[in-house]
Amino acid sequence: MDHFLYRDGVLHAEDVSLPAIAAAVGTPAYVYSAATLLRHYRLFDDALAWGPHLVCYAVKAASNVAILKLLGDAGAGMDVVSEGEYRRARAAGVPGERIVFSGIGKTEGEMRHVLENGVRQINLESEPEMRALSRIAATMGVEVPVTVRVNPDVDARTHEKIATGKAENKFGIPIARARDVYAEIAALPGLRAVGVDVHIGSQLTDLDPFRQAYRKVADLTRALRDDGHAIERLDLGGGLGIPYERSNLAPPVPAEYGEVIRQEVGDLGCEIEIEPGRLIAGNAGILLSRVIYLKHGEGRDFLIVDAAMNDLIRPAMYGAHHDIVPVAEPPAGVDLSPADVVGPVCESGDTFAKARPLPPLDGGDLIAFRGAGAYAAVMASEYNSRPLVPEVLVQGDEWSVIRRRPTWDEMLERESIPDWL
């Protein structure tokens, strides 16, 4: 469920009409619904209410500081994977004790920065990283709470580019080696193993891979406790999928996911951390765009819109589906006809949809790409020297630009021509 609905024949974000935003901000533009973001965060919070827990929003999904402030003020922790994301979370007012630092290639500089400024735990992804962190922490005279991200060798049954829990993926430490690694942590200065971490992939539409992974984590936790480690937290990652196509069956909901967690690890008495990103932000955002031209090609129609692959790369990168809807509500029973929805970027990959059944649309009409709240604005670039797309946050009948479109001068001012040219 989200808060992008037709009212009086016009698509709204909560109580704000999208044409009003387009008129003020221009297109393309991302528009987020605060009510949807909060609702999704609370679904996870409620799903884990049976025990101590912290929902750490995966900042990578949508990292605007206003979104982080909204979720942080509601009590969310944050899962960050870079110094940049850490700085965003702190700028949004989230305290270090609610920030988990994940990521497979943390540099020494990044680790030092979070240790100096406060962090809840660091999730280790390799033995060299573990030793580097031990050195840094020992030099600083601090003891840092760590978990080890284990690779459980479970097939997440998702797109190959976003599966992370198979042995062939670059992530984590093979679960079979985990006991040796925890033994080394116990012997190293500056590190205190507080938990186990796992994340098997993103856009999972089936709970079974989670169940398999969490069962392995439970077994490991018991073994580690037998070895004398005080495992008190489990970070169970993110990954729960969202319905990108309205017409398709919906994936499991957070309550069902929370129940799987309770069944598999609930008896261990651990504090549960999860790192959802997509389910919180995905359907809380749309990309608002305007049709530039309708072009009749050879046997097919092209709807050329002012958003492009640089603004929303998921269709080009993963073959991902985003529902596309007109902002002006089409009359009930209107005839749909197929069109290729494409952007203005100079490559054929700049295609959002092929032969998509759509109501009549023409130059000047507004459309919305649904499910564009997660991995959308954050993955935008300035390819073809198209300015970074602005972001707008709506709450009730209030709305604000939370990232403005850069000016042409701003786009050029980071570059310089060497004086030897």
Known catalytic residues?
Answer: 346
Please tell me the distance from the alpha carbon of residue 56 to that of residue 71, in angstroms, as a whole number: 10
User: What DSSP element (H or E) covers 285?
Assistant: strand 285-296
Of 2-10, 37-45, 196-204, 339-347, the window that binds ligand LLP (rule: CB under 6 A) is 196-204
Q: By CB under 6 A, tell whether 162 contacts ligand LLP.
A: yes
Residue type, 282: G
160 versus 219: smaller Cβ distance to ligand LLP: 160
* 395 in contact with ligand LLP (CB under 6 A): no
Is the CB of 174 or the CB of 396 nearer to ligand LLP?
Answer: 174
Q: Is 165 in the site for ligand LLP (CB under 6 A)?
A: no
Give the ranges where 48-78 is alpha helix by DSSP (H): 65-73
Residue type, 117: N
Q: Which residue has the tokens 């690694």?
A: 181
What is the rounded CA–CA span in Å between residue 156 and residue 208? Answer: 9
Q: Using the rule CB under 6 A, is 302 a contact of ligand LLP?
A: no
What is the number of helices (H) and of strands (E) in the chain? 12, 21
Residue closer to ligand LLP, measured from CB, 120 or 314: 314
Fill in the DSSP letter of residue 293. E
Among 53, 290, 314, 386, binds ligand LLP (CB under 6 A): 314
Closest distance to ligand LLP from the beta carbon of 246 (Å): 18
DSSP 8-state secondary structure symbol assigned to residue 162? G
Site string for ligand LLP, 74-113 (x = CB under 6 A): -----x----------------------x-----------
Verify binding: residue 251, ligand LLP, rule CB under 6 A. no
Are β-strands 233-235 and 324-326 bridged in parallel, bridged antiparallel, or unpaired? unpaired
| Contact between 285 and ligand LLP per CB under 6 A | no
Token code pair at residue 318: 């993963």
**What ranges make up the beta strands (E) of 52-172?**
53-58, 77-80, 99-101, 121-124, 144-151
Nearest distance from C-beta of residue 301 to ligand LLP, angstroms: 28
Please tell me whether residue 151 binds ligand LLP under the rule CB under 6 A.
Answer: no
Binding site for ligand LLP (CB under 6 A): 58, 61, 79, 102, 162, 199, 202-203, 237-239, 275-279, 314, 318, 375
